[in-house]
A and B are shown apart, each in its own frame.
Chain A
Amino acid sequence: MANINEKIESAVKENKVMIFMKGNRSFPQCGFSAATVAIFEQLGVPFATADVLSDPELRDAVKRYSNWPTIPQVYIDGKFVGGCDIIRELHETGELEPMVKAALGAPAHQ
């Protein structure tokens, strides 16, 4: 079985927008995860999610991976962008959409 960090790395590389969250996009299990997903739904862009509640090892590993203590965590184009507050702020200032669009327009990672 692949090492958990490799699993995280391939998830953030394969998905231009990758969200580690509590629950899934239809049934978020935390208000902050729900708010984060709602922003990307509103942008109407494709994104993938991973549920840390169903995988405690992933939950710990992703916090170490980004050196960030909270969930949700959003990665755009393989790069950690932030948690709920930062995504909300980037959305309010209009910076998020161009960032996502640029990532989606970029060629896929090999």
Chain B
Amino acid sequence: MDPKEIETMIARGIPDARVEVRDYTGGGDHFEAIVVSPSFEGKSLIERHQLVYQALGDAMRVQVHALTLKTLTPAQHQNRR
């Protein structure tokens, strides 16, 4: 699977998100995603990750072996720099 496809799927599920996905082994099944979205405001980490998993749907069960997730609000993203 191409990281760009994953980016598109997450962005479709969470329309206000900024998404960056990279394939960290080059094998097309281990990915790392940073998702920044105002929708994460006031949500727990579990709820944030659930939103991303929902956006990925079946791809998460079938094509993606591993996805390392960072879910941040825009304010948290600012603070990281």
Contact = CB atoms under 8 A, between A and B. Distances in A.
A86 B50 contact: no
Contacts of A89: 45
Interface centre among A82, A84, A85 (most CB of B within 10 A): A85
A86 B66 contact: no
B22 interface: no
Contact of A68 (B50, B67, B70): B50
Contact of A80 (B46, B67, B68): B46
Interface in A59-99: 67-70, 80-86, 89-90
A70 B62 CA distance: 11
A83 B60 CA distance: 14
A86 B46 contact: yes
- Main secondary structure on B side of the interface with A: helix
Interface of A: 32, 67-70, 80-86, 89-90
Contacts of A32: 66
A69 B69 CA distance: 13
Interface in B23-70: 45-46, 49-50, 53, 60-61, 66-70
A80 B49 CA distance: 13
B49 A82 contact: yes
17 contacts: A67-B50, A68-B46, A68-B49, A68-B53, A69-B53, A70-B53, A80-B46, A82-B45, A82-B46, A85-B45, A85-B49, A85-B68, A85-B70, A86-B46, A86-B49, A89-B45, A90-B45
